């Protein structure tokens, strides 16, 4: 997604020539991946008391992951998705979306109604840079959560080896 935004930005600021290969990048620029995770095991652990976990390090890692990292990622995703009702109307004024059938979102293309208007639109460039920065932050948050998951797995393995 970030790569597609970069390609569009480079094209509208430097190249300034439309080509058909940009269609997939215009489409991808609006794609937003969501996050899902199960917390039922954590909820059960909380109900029984995290004190049953003897390792303080493991207990703190579990709490950090479920009470800080996941909620932070969830909140950031919610706020980012909340921007689309503001951004989408302007985007749809400038970009025509290929009609969809039952194939996947990313297989379709989108194209500007008027490419010259896209090149001249400061608002469009601002939308792209804003979407790009949101995705960079979300990727950082996801990577941090993945790292914490991995650390948690290693701590669990370490505790199991003690038994």
Q: Report the pLDDT value the prediction gives residue 100, as an integer from 0 to 100.
A: 64
Each domain of the chain, given as residue ranges in start order, spans: 2-162
CB 29, CB 8: distance < 8 Å: yes
pLDDT values of the chain reduced to their tens digit, one per residue, 163 residues: 899 999 999 999 998 999 989 988 998 888 777 666 666 666 666 666 666 677 888 888 888 888 888 888 888 888 888 888 888 889 888 988 776 665 666 667 888 999 999 999 999 999 999 999 989 998 899 899 889 989 988 988 888 888 6
Dihedral angle sign, alpha carbons of residues 133, 6, 13, 106? negative
CB 36, CB 45: distance < 8 Å: no
Within 10 angstroms of residue 12's Cβ, the number of other Cβ atoms is 21
Q: Report the pLDDT value the prediction gives residue 92, as an integer from 0 to 100.
A: 87
* Both structure tokens of 136: 């960079």
Strand (E) or helix (H) holding 139? helix 122-162
- Distances in whole angstroms, Cα of residue 42 to Cα of each of 110, 142, 160: 42, 19, 18
Q: Report the pLDDT value the prediction gives residue 22, as an integer from 0 to 100.
A: 92
Give the three-class secondary structure for 96: strand
Token pair 């896209």: residue: 118
CB 23, CB 111: distance < 8 Å: yes
């Amino acid at each position: 997604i970030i790569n597609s935004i970069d390609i569009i930005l480079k094209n509208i600021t430097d190249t300034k020539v439309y080509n058909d290969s940009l269609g997939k990048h215009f489409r991808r620029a609006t794609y937003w991946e969501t996050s899902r995770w199960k917390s039922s095991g954590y909820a059960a652990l909380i109900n029984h008391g995290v004190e049953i976990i003897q390792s303080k390090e493991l207990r703190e890692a579990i709490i950090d992951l479920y009470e800080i990292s996941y909620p932070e990622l969830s909140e950031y995703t919610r706020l980012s998705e909340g921007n689309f009702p503001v951004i989408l109307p302007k985007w749809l004024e400038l970009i025509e979306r290929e009609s969809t059938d039952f194939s996947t979102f990313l297989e379709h293309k989108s194209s500007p109604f008027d490419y010259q208007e896209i090149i001249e639109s400061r608002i469009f460039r601002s939308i792209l840079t804003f979407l790009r920065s949101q995705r960079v932050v979300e990727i950082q948050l996801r990577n941090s959560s993945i790292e914490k998951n991995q650390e948690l797995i290693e701590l669990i393995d370490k505790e199991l080896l003690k038994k």
